[in-house]
Structure 1
Amino acid sequence: MAGENGSLVSSDISSYTAALYANELKEYPFSLDALRKWMIAFVVCDFNVDIGVEVEYMFPSTNFSPTDLQTICFSSFPERTSSDTTEDSAFHFRFRHSSPYVSCQTTNEDPAYWYGFCLFRQQRDTAVKRNYRQKSLVLVSQHDYAPLFAYLIKTISLLDFEVSPTLIESACSNIAAWGPPEVGLQELPFLGSLLDVHIPPHPAFPLQGLVTATPSRTDIRVEYKEIHTSEPIGSWTRLANLLNSISELYIIFERVLLSDPMVVLADDPTTCSEFVSAVVDLVRPVSFRLWFGCQLLYGYRRLMCKQIPFGGDCRPYLTMQSVLDFSLNAHEGIPLRHYLIGITNPFFLKRLLSNGKENKTPYVVYLAGPEVKRKHHLHFYSSITERDHPNNMIVNDAKAFIEKDHEFLRVLENQLKDPRTTREHSNYAGLRASGTRRHFAHLAAMFLAPLNRYLATLASKSSDSNIIDIAGFSEGDFLASLSKHGCSVQFKGKTGYHRHRTAEAFYRKFCRSPSFFRWLEMKMRLQQEPLEVIGTSSVSGYGEKTEQD
């Protein structure tokens, strides 16, 4: 299995990479600058039993640093695999890059990070050791367009198991011809199919992909696919069943709001990366006033004031070997206090929990599955033997603030028991998954309402009524406003007084969290951003196929 025997990456990776560059084409049948507006490179990794993971080739030739190439190799293979499994495994990861000579266009808030979108597969082959081959196709990009890039690598791998350079070159030529990414709807051809790609004004745009339009085209010779670039990869129809209890969703929701440390421990990288993607989506509030067409710009600005960016380090899939990249801040003397990571190695969890008292103890989400839950309350996957299982599985001691909606949980539990929800790609399963997303989107919107109400009073004191004087924000004044006007979120407490004290404590925590400061920073940036930067033409097509809330 990958990762069991020594190093995963050849120790001579620097010289190997240099030789790889020398053998690459020096000219391409497409514009490299045009390609780099969407992505950086494809990397094909192969598992050599004697050496470990090695780069078979990359295209186009890219001057990745040895550290980045090593991170890509480590992250492109599951830490454990079963020889009986021949199904493809798709997942994604995020890493802090160190390749200063790679030039690419990015609109990300944090250009220091890149993203890898992988498809791992193994195939029986009696001609090699262990009787099967393992290979990963990785698309490295500066954009977090997970649904789009996951579709691209899946399409490529379906056409050719070996992922030939000729096919990769054709894929790059298609992508380079797309033009730059633009907010709105773009029709993008890719290897015989036509993609309707929706890029929202901001990655935190709420409820992405809940409504999929039926193509009006009649040309049956072309496959059409609608993709929302900020839609979560994971579906709650599958993921909620893996939780120890579905009521745990409320604790997870609170932790993400506060950017408190959280670790998702799963059996495979697909599950943990999908779960992290779905969790971040929980704090994308519904915009109750969003207009399209000529009024979209106003709706865009109003919408942005209602979103909560995750304020920590988010890693959908992290391996033991790539922990140095994750703990970079800790090595610089800054303790890791705010993060959301997905892992598959229980010993990695043990290492995280023993990092010292200066780091906050993370909340651990054990994705054990319903069949395991019935046997052991805190047991992990049955596929992990007792030898592999750490002795000290922690019991989470997280204080809950928000009262659970028992009616919602009852309906959700009944839906998850419905056999139709197991057919994840059916319309019924999609409808059930959207119910969870809608519930927490509305909850997030209600949570922000008191803050927006208080900030509106600061705007009225400013010389320009359209500009909020965020510098005048006072935690004490806000809590006084909260005490006077209350909030719609139901907090825990036996009496009204106790519920108010719980609400006050939670809002105080939020106002001191990195999520709050990133939210305020986003509001300030949008207020100072001229309308020309947003551009009416670039967003006029956005939302034509999405739902108005």
Structure 2
Amino acid sequence: MDPFDSADSLEEPSRSAATDTEISEPWSRFSAWLECVCVVTFDLELGQAIELIYPYDVRLTEKEKTSICYLSFPDSYSGCLGDTQFSFRLRQSVGRSSSWFGQEDAYNKDAPVALQKEHAHFHGYVYFRQVKDASVKRGYFQKSLVVVSRLPFVNLFHSLVQVIAPEYFEKLEPCLETVCNEIDQWPAPVPGQTLNLPVMGVVMQVRIPSRDETPGGSPVKQPQTENLLPAPTVLPSVHELDLFKCFQSVLIHVQMLWELMLLGEPVVVMAPSPTVSSETVLALVSSITPLRYCGDYRPYFTIHDSEFKEYTTRTQAPPNVILGVTNPFFIKTFQCWPHIIRLGDLKMSGDLPKQVKLKKLAKLKSLDTKTGIYTAYKTFLHKDKALIKRLLKGIQKKRPSEAQSAILRRHLLEQTQSFILPLESYLESLMPPQRSVSPWKTPPQIRPFSQDEFMKNLEQEGPQLTLKGDWTGLYRRFFRSPNFDGWYRLRHREMTQKVERLHLEAICAADLLTWTKDKSEVEIVDLILKLREKLMRARKHQLPVKEELLERLEKSIQTIISSLPEDLQTVLRRQ
């Protein structure tokens, strides 16, 4: 009998939460929110160039700096005069690591998957100003202030740059240093808590949702313990965009766009400005919440991007990526892509927004400027005409955009949840029964996912949704998508952790000392080493077990060691 022997089936070791000493390191609080703040300017000789990075010692590679430069200015075709805000997403250089991994993993453990810090990408939140200025040789003042972060908090960080960029453009560098020092005093981002974030005389109040909350539910109100002066500016969400504003010209195609996102199809969004481009791409990605979009996505993409050649090669099928672009050059470059959304400035037909039409890909000519969704895709599910009718009626009745967005977001959420529910139910059936978890045996295995078995179950149960269509066809296509792969990997890891936790609980409830009575010293030492390994793995993988359970296991180990001869005790306690 070989108790507690279990292979470590968790593929990715996670790091433990940061210690107090780590938190006290310079800029550690700042790093919890931001990687850095950059100022990008237009140099007559160099073109776009980074004028300033703060903190000064932040480690960006030359490739990352170059990418930030190009992504921080609207394309010359956009003709953006005045102030413009948009966002981008940038692949970090291979081999570099985050400066704040300890707290990052503590945060990610409690955050919803769509709001977790990214290990391989940066998000850039841009405030660009272009105004006539006779004192400048080029005739224009052109500068961008960019906040770079691993957090996808588009709403919070756009609000932040709205506060600091205009002030910086007037007062320049000392002002930025003050701002960064203020951010370095912010509390850490903790899911489930209401946080007050002061900057430049403004207090932004935010609440980051936690993983345990029901998506779309009302946020839990938290009592305020401080009397803040000035009164805080309450942001309704750290990440949610005005979904209705983003989709109002494509409302009649929302069902098709949801399916394209669910299946991780390659999509190009051609827009008149980086603002429309980035907001549309982020709205598309968020349309399958609470599922995580597992393909790549670039809210704003330029011909200077280091992945340009990778994404525009004609020798292979387009990758699973959503690209937001503004340069007309891309019309020709992406003619071989299967789905192209070409947006223009919003036009009205009476009191309703003019809806973009579906067009055949063959009609996308190299300099065609007509709006349209160019695709041959046929939806698996039928349109929800009642939803479209309700939203169009809301426009006529002048229903506020926030209310329209709430209706649209609720519909998409319910549709995604209805799609996931049969998958979740089937996963539950793959879990070993709790009675099979024994302290004297290795943890039982989770049964493998069988698509055929799932499809048989689906025919009997099916999604609980009134929407008609080919649900089985949609699931079969979904199984080939990166979103299924990402969802299954995450859920399988969570299930494995659950089995590990149940096994740990069974061990703690067992009478280990009695088990050792008739065992040899070799067997007892083997048991101690395996218990220690189990304890170490539990802490290293941050299993969802109570600390007192781990302390009880620690005591059991010490009790067993105490039952051994003194010389052996000494050896084991040294380890």
**Residue 182 of structure 2 aligns with which residue?**
174
Q: Determine which of 485, 488, 504 is the counterpart of 2:464.
A: 488
Q: CA deviation at 1:328?
A: 4.6
Task: Determine whether 1:267 maps to 2:272.
Answer: yes
Deviations 1:68-113 (A, max 9, x none): 1110000001113676832x21111111112756752243575121
Q: How high is the sequence identity, in percent, across the aligned residues?
A: 26
User: What letter is aligned with 1:197?
Assistant: V
Whether the 8 Å CA contact 1:363–1:398 is kept in 2: the answer is: no
Q: Determine which of 387, 390, 405 is the counterpart of 1:408.
A: 387
**Residue 18 of structure 1 aligns with which residue?**
none
Structure-2 separation of matches of 1:219 and 1:110: 34
Q: CA deviation at 1:491?
A: 5.2
Task: Call closer, same or farther: CA 1:535–1:135 in 2, change over 3 Å.
Answer: farther
CA RMSD after TM alignment: 3.8
Structure-2 separation of matches of 1:457 and 1:393: 44
Q: CA deviation at 1:227?
A: 3.8
Structure-2 separation of matches of 1:93 and 1:376: 25
**Residue 64 of structure 1 aligns with which residue?**
60
**Residue 242 of structure 1 aligns with which residue?**
249
Q: Determine which of 353, 373, 377 is the counterpart of 1:398.
A: 377
Task: Call closer, same or farther: CA 1:504–1:436 in 2, change over 3 Å.
Answer: same
Structure 2 residue matching 1:401: 3-state secondary structure: coil
Deviations 1:348-377 (A, max 9, x none): 2421334xxxxx623435355234986995
User: What letter is aligned with 1:361?
Assistant: P
**Residue 444 of structure 1 aligns with which residue?**
416
Q: What TM-score, normalized by structure 2, do the two folds share?
A: 0.70
Task: Determine whether 1:457 maps to 2:466.
Answer: no
Structure-1 separation of matches of 2:282 and 2:235: 16
**Residue 260 of structure 2 aligns with which residue?**
255
Task: Call closer, same or farther: CA 1:486–1:101 in 2, change over 3 Å.
Answer: closer
**Higher mean Cα deviation, 472-481 or 110-119?**
110-119
Unaligned regions of 5+ residues in structure 1, if any? 1-28, 285-306, 355-359, 380-385, 422-428, 493-498, 538-549
Structure 2 residue matching 1:264: 3-state secondary structure: strand
User: What letter is aligned with 1:57?
Assistant: L
Task: Call closer, same or farther: CA 1:249–1:506 in 2, change over 3 Å.
Answer: same
Whether the 8 Å CA contact 1:63–1:102 is kept in 2: the answer is: no
Structure-1 separation of matches of 2:189 and 2:544: 14
Q: CA deviation at 1:35?
A: 2.1
Structure 2 residue matching 1:400: 3-state secondary structure: coil
Q: CA deviation at 1:161?
A: 2.2
**Residue 4 of structure 1 aligns with which residue?**
none
Structure 1 residue matching 2:460: 3-state secondary structure: helix
Structure-1 separation of matches of 2:99 and 2:148: 11
**Residue 193 of structure 1 aligns with which residue?**
202
Q: CA deviation at 1:174?
A: 1.3
Structure-1 separation of matches of 2:75 and 2:330: 11
Whether the 8 Å CA contact 2:356–2:372 is kept in 1: the answer is: no
Structure-1 separation of matches of 2:339 and 2:224: 48
Task: Determine whether 1:362 maps to 2:336.
Answer: no
Task: Determine whether 1:93 maps to 2:88.
Answer: yes
Deviations 1:138-184 (A, max 9, x none): 11122222222222211102323246221111111112122433222
Structure-2 separation of matches of 1:272 and 1:431: 23
Whether the 8 Å CA contact 2:80–2:130 is kept in 1: the answer is: no
Q: Determine which of 465, 479, 485 is the counterpart of 1:517.
A: 485
Deviations 1:312-359 (A, max 9, x none): 10111111211x33655888x9854311221112322421334xxxxx
Structure 1 residue matching 2:52: 3-state secondary structure: strand
Task: Call closer, same or farther: CA 1:398–1:212 in 2, change over 3 Å.
Answer: farther
**Residue 541 of structure 1 aligns with which residue?**
none
Whether the 8 Å CA contact 2:41–2:50 is kept in 1: the answer is: yes
Task: Call closer, same or farther: CA 1:456–1:320 in 2, change over 3 Å.
Answer: same
Structure-1 separation of matches of 2:292 and 2:133: 46
Q: Determine which of 36, 42, 45 is the counterpart of 2:31.
A: 36
Structure-1 separation of matches of 2:97 and 2:458: 49
Q: What TM-score, normalized by structure 1, do the two folds share?
A: 0.73
Structure-2 separation of matches of 1:369 and 1:317: 19
Aligned ranges for residues 133-212 of structure 1 at < 5 Å?
133-162=141-170, 164-185=172-193, 186-202=195-211, 206-207=215-216
**Residue 22 of structure 1 aligns with which residue?**
none
User: What letter is aligned with 1:318?
Assistant: F
Aligned ranges for residues 114-133 of structure 1 at < 5 Å?
114-129=122-137, 131-133=139-141
Task: Call closer, same or farther: CA 1:519–1:111 in 2, change over 3 Å.
Answer: same
Structure-2 separation of matches of 1:99 and 1:455: 35
Task: Call closer, same or farther: CA 1:345–1:329 in 2, change over 3 Å.
Answer: closer
**Residue 308 of structure 1 aligns with which residue?**
291
Whether the 8 Å CA contact 2:340–2:374 is kept in 1: the answer is: no
Task: Call closer, same or farther: CA 1:404–1:42 in 2, change over 3 Å.
Answer: same
Unaligned regions of 5+ residues in structure 2, if any? 1-23, 105-115, 360-364, 438-442, 502-537, 547-575
Q: Determine which of 455, 467, 471 is the counterpart of 1:503.
A: 471
Task: Call closer, same or farther: CA 1:327–1:457 in 2, change over 3 Å.
Answer: farther
Whether the 8 Å CA contact 1:455–1:473 is kept in 2: the answer is: yes
Structure 1 residue matching 2:377: 3-state secondary structure: coil
**Residue 473 of structure 1 aligns with which residue?**
449
User: What letter is aligned with 1:150?
Assistant: H
Task: Call closer, same or farther: CA 1:135–1:417 in 2, change over 3 Å.
Answer: farther
**Residue 78 of structure 1 aligns with which residue?**
74
**Higher mean Cα deviation, 92-101 or 434-443?**
92-101
Structure 2 residue matching 1:317: 3-state secondary structure: coil
Structure 1 residue matching 2:69: 3-state secondary structure: helix
Q: Number of aligned residue pairs: give it.
A: 455
Structure-1 separation of matches of 2:125 and 2:66: 15
Structure 2 residue matching 1:308: 3-state secondary structure: coil
Whether the 8 Å CA contact 1:203–1:230 is kept in 2: the answer is: no
Q: Determine which of 104, 121, 131 is the counterpart of 1:113.
A: 121
**Residue 346 of structure 1 aligns with which residue?**
328
Whether the 8 Å CA contact 1:30–1:173 is kept in 2: the answer is: no
Whether the 8 Å CA contact 2:118–2:150 is kept in 1: the answer is: no
User: What letter is aligned with 1:321?
Assistant: H
Whether the 8 Å CA contact 1:319–1:345 is kept in 2: the answer is: yes
Structure-2 separation of matches of 1:338 and 1:366: 21
Whether the 8 Å CA contact 1:236–1:278 is kept in 2: the answer is: yes
Structure-1 separation of matches of 2:445 and 2:328: 47
